[in-house]
């Protein structure tokens, strides 16, 4: 079976820690997902907050289908193997003209996952540009040592702890722009950040975190993931249900039950358990 990624692309990912944007859904499909999100937000009388930002693939059938899209899975399989689980999904939404930002950080410092093969697929439902605060990366930083972080809890920082790498050389960073309906792919340990949204539209991104089944969670005795391709021969994660429709009661109950576990992992060692918006 031919690979979705060529050998040059795979080598680039190994070397640089990311792949630039490529189409994964149509513009109409991206718009439909955005409209579903914004209808849900309207029912909440405001933007997503707290637990609604995380694992929304358990709440919406369209997102459950997205994380299982063969177009995405084929690329991820080329990078980490044929057995694939989704550990988490999360929204990264910056309102128009918002001061919200993401400080320089490495995801591997805070999620407790014992693997070097986690891959994030970041899907844009609106344009992610320099103007709207697209992601910035330090190419190759996934190959070096873990970088020291400080926890700032800055009110405009979108990260749970406001975790931040000090003394980053911005001249070495690149912008990772992603058109609507496209996705960028990046490695677990790559250093990344993003500036505030200076545009007149929301910047809406949906991040899907893929892991192999042999990954282990070090910070909690319990963790859950969705098996989306192949087999799980390890049994380290409780399997999430696949919703049959929006707000499937079984999947909604699972989402609610596992929220405590997610919070325990994200705030491990801090004594804090609140949600950042």
What's the distance, CA 212 to chain centroid? 16
Which of 176, 180, 166 has its CA nearest to residue 32? 180
**How far is residue 163 from each of residues 78, 138, 196, 233, measured CA to CA in Å?**
31, 16, 16, 34
pLDDT at 69: 98
Contact 276, 120 (CB under 8 A): no
State whether CATH 2.60.40.10 applies to domain 7-266.
Answer: no
pLDDT at 263: 75
pLDDT at 268: 63
State pLDDT tens for residues 97-136: 999 999 999 999 889 999 999 999 999 999 999 999 999 9
User: What DSSP element (H or E) covers 150?
Assistant: strand 149-151
pLDDT at 274: 44
For the chain, the domains span 7-266
Comparing 8-17, 33-42, 147-156, 247-256, the range with the smallest average pLDDT is 147-156
* Burial of 251 from C-beta contacts in 10 A (0-12 / 13-18 / 19+): buried
**Count of CB atoms situated within 10 Å of the CB of 218:** 11
State pLDDT tens for residues 38-96: 999 999 989 998 889 999 999 999 999 999 999 999 999 999 999 999 999 999 999 99
Report the predicted TM-score, pTM, of the whole model to 2 decimal places. 0.94
Q: What is the mean pLDDT of residues 32-36?
A: 97
């Amino acid at each position: 079976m031919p690979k979705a990624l060529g050998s040059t692309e795979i080598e680039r990912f190994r070397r640089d820690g990311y792949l630039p944007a490529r189409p994964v859904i149509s513009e109409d499909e991206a718009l439909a997902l955005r409209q579903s999100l914004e209808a849900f937000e309207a029912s909440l009388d405001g933007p997503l907050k707290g637990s609604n930002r995380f694992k929304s693939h358990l709440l919406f059938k369209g997102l459950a289908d997205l994380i299982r899209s063969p177009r995405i899975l084929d690329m991820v399989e080329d990078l980490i193997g044929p057995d694939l689980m989704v550990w988490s999904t999360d929204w990264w939404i910056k309102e128009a003209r918002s001061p919200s930002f993401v400080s320089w950080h490495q995801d591997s410092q805070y999620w407790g996952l014992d693997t070097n093969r986690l891959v994030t697929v970041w899907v844009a439902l609106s344009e992610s540009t320099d103007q709207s605060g697209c992601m910035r990366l330090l190419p190759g930083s996934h190959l070096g040592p873990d970088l020291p972080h400080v926890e700032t809890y800055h009110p405009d920082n979108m990260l749970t702890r406001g975790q931040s790498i000090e003394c980053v050389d911005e001249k070495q960073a690149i912008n990772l722009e992603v058109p609507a309906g496209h996705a960028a792919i990046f490695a677990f340990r790559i250093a990344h950040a993003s500036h505030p949204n200076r545009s007149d539209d929301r910047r809406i991104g949906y991040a899907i975190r893929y892991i192999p089944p042999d990954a282990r969670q070090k910070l909690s005795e319990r963790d859950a993931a969705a098996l989306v391709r192949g087999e799980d021969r390890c049994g380290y994660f409780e399997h999430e249900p696949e919703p049959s429709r929006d707000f499937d009661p079984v999947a909604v109950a699972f989402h609610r039950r596992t929220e405590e576990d997610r919070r325990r992992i994200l705030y491990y060692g801090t004594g804090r358990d609140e949600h950042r918006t």
